[in-house]
């Protein structure tokens, strides 16, 4: 973990802190956190990274950070930055290595009572059907070269067309599950090879499929619109573009380092390497990054299909009786061109969200029609031992954070520190004592993911709710989890 750096801050109110624009900063920093969370945020270099991002050319209004912020590659995880299309830049470090890592939430018609006594079977079925961990894959799904191209161009609609889901799923995915402008030709052979066996796989690290009980409902009308009923089971899927997206990022970091020099862009940190949005290098990266994002959308769609199959095996019911439907699917690591209000005027901007969630308000044309009155669903996972939240976007988020909010709890321990804290502990049994059945590819992953390795997501969600940049709807608690 990097050593902390003292950064000057000014508290604006109980939920917001400003980093004044100093030196090479073009705009101030704006951090959403109360004083309790700020104590943890000051323990690494995340605030310095917020200030560094503010130095990049063409950044608009502020370098924004969410309460789950922590130190990342170049940009902080939990960071949001908007850039002018003519004067601004696009940066792989502002998207992250796991392009379009995101969360999908499924609702179900299965109640907690019906599931009683079957959760162990359910976690075994999920673990059997969904490949987890490094190098995992299913023998019945491997893409050839042309198949990879189709996935990169087609995203989730490709998966539905090939039998993994139905058209109704697509209406509840950010961007319909496919980013226009993807350029498969910009994805390297190495990235394609890494992606070929990995479609429909969960991966390792903090990725998971989690069966949850709808424990608390805070906003009854909004929960009803989302189809969430108290004590029903829901399923969260957290994964991204796997090795393909990682390789795309790695490939373009070298391109962007050269581009930064060629275009004379001052970089406070080489990890912020970038190129003008409209440059040839910028266009190539966007095309490749969108293609990787489409792979991630397809990945979550295929896993959704296998979640449905797993429920059918355990509950011996058909899909209609199980009622497993997509609530929403959101990106965490992405950069897109969007329209936003700046000083009362609409502007087209290149929005980087790295470890941040889009949170568009009620009435926004990109909010699914079914949710147009309540706002875009916001899905905030916590850790495997406590709870997760469902929220909705707000007008204030649209005006103040470019329609963005937090994406999770945020780590408070490094992976090595978590392993040290978990050494010798029976993690699976600890979880079962809490009523949570867990399966994993290995003990190391479970050790890295112990609940105390993360901030309490309730504290993070409390800040975004009080700040008004998203609104709490429901709390979900885990009952069965598979990890990579």
As annotated, the active-site residues are 407
Distance CA 465, CA 393 (A): 10
Distance CA 339, CA 320 (A): 38
Closest by Cα among 102, 459, 469, 115 to 316? 115
Distance CA 85, CA 1 (A): 34
- Cα distances (angstroms) measured from residue 152 to each of 74, 168, 203, 299, 403: 26, 21, 18, 11, 27
Backbone φ and ψ of 65, nearest 5°: -135, 145
Closest by Cα among 144, 50, 60, 151 to 100? 151
Burial (CB count <10 Å: 0-12, 13-18, 19+), residue 193: middle
Residue with tokens 């990106």: 331
Can you list the alpha helix ranges (DSSP code H) found in 186-341?
189-195, 220-226, 242-262, 280-315, 319-322
440 forms beta bridges with 483
- Cα distances (angstroms) measured from residue 39 to each of 36, 42, 413, 435: 6, 6, 14, 32
Query: Are 284 and 88 contacting, i.e. CB atoms less than 8 angstroms apart?
Result: no
């Amino acid at each position: 973990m990097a050593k902390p750096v003292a950064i000057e801050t000014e508290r604006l109110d109980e939920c917001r802190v400003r980093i004044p624009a100093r030196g090479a900063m073009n705009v101030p920093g704006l951090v959403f956190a109360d004083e309790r969370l700020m104590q943890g945020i000051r323990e690494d270099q995340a605030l310095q990274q917020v200030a560094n991002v503010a130095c990049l050319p063409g950044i608009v209004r502020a370098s924004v950070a969410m309460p789950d912020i922590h130190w990342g590659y170049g940009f902080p995880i939990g960071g949001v930055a908007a850039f002018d299309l003519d004067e601004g830049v696009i940066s792989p470090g502002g998207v992250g290595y796991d392009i379009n890592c995101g969360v999908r939430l499924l609702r179900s018609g299965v109640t907690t009572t019906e599931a009683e006594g079957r959760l162990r079977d359910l976690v075994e079925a999920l673990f059997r059907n969904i490949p987890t961990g490094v190098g995992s894959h299913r023998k019945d799904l491997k893409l050839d070269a042309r198949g990879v191209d189709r996935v990169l161009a087609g995203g989730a609609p490709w998966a539905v067309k090939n039998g993994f889901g139905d058209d109704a799923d697509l209406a509840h995915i950010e961007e319909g599950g496919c980013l226009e402008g993807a350029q498969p030709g910009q994805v390297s052979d190495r990235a394609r090879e890494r992606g070929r066996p990995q479609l429909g796989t969960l991966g390792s690290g903090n990725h998971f499929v989690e069966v949850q009980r709808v424990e608390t409902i805070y906003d009854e009308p909004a929960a009803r619109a989302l189809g969430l009923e108290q004590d029903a089971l829901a399923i969260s899927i957290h994964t991204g573009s796997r090795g393909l997206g990682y390789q795309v990022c790695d490939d373009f970091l070298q391109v962007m380092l050269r581009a930064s020099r060629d275009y004379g862009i001052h970089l406070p940190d080489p990890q912020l390497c970038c190129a003008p949005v409209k440059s040839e290098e910028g266009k190539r990266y966007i095309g490749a990054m969108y293609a990787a994002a489409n792979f991630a959308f397809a990945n979550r769609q295929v896993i959704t299909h296998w979640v449905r199959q797993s429920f059918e095996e355990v509950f011996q019911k058909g899909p209609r009786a199980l009622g497993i439907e997509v609530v929403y699917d959101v990106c965490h690591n992405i950069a897109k061109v969007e329209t936003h209000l700046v000083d009362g005027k609409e502007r087209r901007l290149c929005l980087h969200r790295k470890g941040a969630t889009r949170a568009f308000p009620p009435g926004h044309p990109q909010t699914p029609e079914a949710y147009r009155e309540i706002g875009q669903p916001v899905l905030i996972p916590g850790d495997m031992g406590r709870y997760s939240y469902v929220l909705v976007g707000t007008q204030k988020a649209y005006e103040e954070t470019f329609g963005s909010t937090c994406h999770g709890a945020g780590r408070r321990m490094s992976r090595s520190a978590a392993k040290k804290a978990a050494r010798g502990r029976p993690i699976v049994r600890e979880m079962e004592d809490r009523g949570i059945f867990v399966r994993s590819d290995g003990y190391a992953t479970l050790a890295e993911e112990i609940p105390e390795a993360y901030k309490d997501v309730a504290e993070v969600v409390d800040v975004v709710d009080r700040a008004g940049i998203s609104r709490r709807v429901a709390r979900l608690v885990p009952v069965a989890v598979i990890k990579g």
